[in-house]
Amino acid sequence: MLSANKMMIQNGKGVISVPVEEDIQFGEELIKYYETNNLENLKEFIYDKYISGITY
């Protein structure tokens, strides 16, 4: 996640921050992505819940 945040900051897109209490749910979404190769669902999930530092 550190590398992803570096790239996002460099491009003015905020940062990804997953609270510890939601770590399991985040991991489950990653597993779904690995099993289905459907990046759109993962991107939407992260965008809706875990990106901060930008105005929508």
**15: part of which helix (H) or strand (E)?**
strand 15-16
Q: What is the pLDDT of residue 32?
A: 96
pLDDT digits (tens, 9 = 90+) for 4-44: 889 888 888 888 889 999 999 999 999 999 999 999 999 89
Q: What is the pLDDT of residue 56?
A: 52
Q: What is the pLDDT of residue 9?
A: 86
* Contact present, 52 and 17 (Cβ < 8 Å): yes
The conformation of residue 50, written as its DSSP 8-state character, comes to: T
Q: What is the pLDDT of residue 5?
A: 83
Q: What is the pLDDT of residue 35?
A: 97
